[in-house]
Amino acid sequence: MFTIEHEFDASVITLVDEGDTPLREDVIVQAFDTEITFEQWDPRTDRVSKITLSPEQLRDLTAALNLPEGIYRSTRK
Q: What is the pLDDT of residues 35-71, one digit of tens each?
A: 999 999 999 999 999 999 999 999 889 888 888 888 8
pLDDT, residue 77, reads 65
User: What's the mean pLDDT in 3-30?
Assistant: 90
Mean pLDDT of the chain: 90
Q: Can you spell out the DSSP letters for 42-53?
A: ETTTTEEEEEEE
User: What's the mean pLDDT in 23-31?
Assistant: 94
Alpha-carbon gap, residue 49 to 54, rounded angstroms: 17
Output the pTM of the full model.
0.81
Alpha-carbon gap, residue 32 to 27, rounded angstroms: 16
Rounded to whole angstroms, what are the CA distances from 29 to 33, 41, 71?
A: 13, 13, 27
Rounded to whole angstroms, what are the CA distances from 50 to 11, 40, 69?
A: 16, 7, 27
